[in-house]
Amino acid sequence: MSDTPDPRDLHTDTLAIRWAQLRTDEMSHSDPIFLTSSFVYDSAAQAAARFSGEEPGNVYSRFTNPTVRSFEQRLAAMEGGESCVALASGMAAISSTFFTLLAPGDHVISSRSVFGTTNVIYDRYLKKFNIDTTLVDLNDLDQWRAAIRPETKLLYLETPSNPLSEVGDIEALAKLAHDNGALLIVDNCFCTPALQKPLELGADLVIHSATKYLDGQGRCLGGAVVGPEEILKEIHGFVRSAGPCMSPFNAWVFLKGLETLGLRMKAHSENALQLAQWLEQQPGIARVHYAGLDSHPQKALAERQQKAFGAVIAIEVEDSDGRRDRQAAWRFIDATRLLSITANLGDVKSTVTHPATTTHGRVAEEEKQRSGISENLIRIAVGLEDVGDLKNDLGLGIKALGFE
């Protein structure tokens, strides 16, 4: 681009394709990869100036790398944020944010429905530094309000939640955080900026597992944090020293993924809505959890803050003898032929998971019950295959429950 337009004048789909493109003297149309660990200097004096920070420029790819930088700038523009730091994984983004912003004695309030490993960070690592976490129900504002303490520094959530598609009110929670001198952090992995912009709704930071929809084809691990320069500068300081930086190769894959993000999220959401509506009509399916269904108690809130409802559906199965247990769920899963049995999501390939024994397997029984992770619950992350073929495949699962 010869003249740089203001990103606020461009739509997210255009930014995803055009923003922060890298172009060298070779004039390649597709983004080049700078697959290098370090950078060279014209002279010893220039090396000294770069190291001291007197002269801007690349030094070492743990600090900055042009391909990674391009991904950071593009994602920041798409989320409507000032700045972004890319990391080695979604968990690296989450833990680096916590370790940068929290100090001993601080308090965190978190939705109990967050990615399972985030709870390991709370219980094992933040606790070690005398940082206390209170878990609350994502959609119960009174619980969030009651959990506030003078030392509360962060409110943390994912919306819609995994796997039950509960929806958190970002605007209301941002207000609660700000009224109490805390920050609101939203993990936007399930919607991506193609469907939801938490910063516009008042959140302070957005977290991503780029591993999921930003890649979109299940190839690379990566993560990112987006928000104001003032905070991101601190997180970048942590990352350049602690080292959980993103590989330039992975950044390049994510740049390619971003180019098709808008189209994919639209198609994922259309497939998921069709399947969810169809599943609600089938025998053996006691309940379907999906924010796009009329039966979902928070459909109106989801419509207000999201452009579509995303790809993840959860179903509760019941066999023809009325059993709602692990055997019924496993029989259903094992009968499918097309769906991949894997805990990953955010892929063009549809995946099927039994949360109680995989993603939430290490969660205490009582906590599982409180979060609705029942033994008969199955998560389906809907991909981009033909929706008729997906129905036929899920039909095999329904047949295995004893229905024709």
Binding residues for ligand PLP, per CB under 6 A?
Answer: 89-91, 115, 158, 162, 187, 189, 209, 211-212, 221, 223
- Residue whose CB is nearest to ligand PLP in the complex, by number: 90
Question: How far is C-alpha 77 from the geometric centre of its chain's CA atoms?
Answer: 17
Please identify, using beta-carbon distances, which residue of 15 and 86 lies nearer to ligand PLP: 86
Nearest approach, Cβ of residue 189 and ligand PLP (Å): 4
Min. distance of Cβ 188 from ligand PLP in angstroms? 9
CB of 165 vs ligand PLP, minimal distance in Å: 12
C-alpha 354/C-alpha 301 separation (Å) is 27
Count other Cβ atoms within 10 Å, centred on residue 6.
Answer: 7
Nearest to 332, CA basis, from 306, 308, 353: 353
Q: In the bound complex, what is the minimum distance in angstroms from residue 217's beta carbon to ligand PLP?
A: 14
> What does the buried/exposed string (b/e) look like for 311-344 if buried means 16 or more CB atoms within 10 Å of the residue's CB?
bbbbbbbbbeeebbeeebbbbbbebbebbeeebe
Q: Which is nearer to ligand PLP, 168 or 223 (CB)?
A: 223
The CB-of-94 to ligand PLP minimum distance in angstroms stands at 6
Nearer to ligand PLP, 191 or 199 (CB): 191
Euclidean distance between CA atoms 96 and 246, whole angstroms: 13
Give the residue with the Cβ less far from ligand PLP, 70 or 95: 95
Whole-number minimum distance, CB 389 to ligand PLP, in Å? Answer: 25
**285-289, strands of its sheet edge to edge:** 285-289, 312-317, 377-381, 351-353, 340-341
Minimal distance, residue 3 CB to ligand PLP, in Å: 36
What phi, psi does 216 have (nearest 5°)?
90, -15
Nearer to ligand PLP, 73 or 162 (CB): 162
Which residues 6+ apart lie within 8 Å of 73 measured at CB? 19, 20, 84
Cβ proximity to ligand PLP: between 7 and 97 the closer is: 97
Q: How far apart are CA 275 and CA 380, in angstroms?
A: 10
Counted residue by residue, the chain has a size of 404
Shortest CB 194 distance to ligand PLP, Å: 15
> Rounded CA gap, 88 and 239, in Å?
10
Cβ proximity to ligand PLP: between 83 and 209 the closer is 209
Rounded CA gap, 262 and 253, in Å? 16
Nearest to ligand PLP of 204, 318 (CB atom): 204
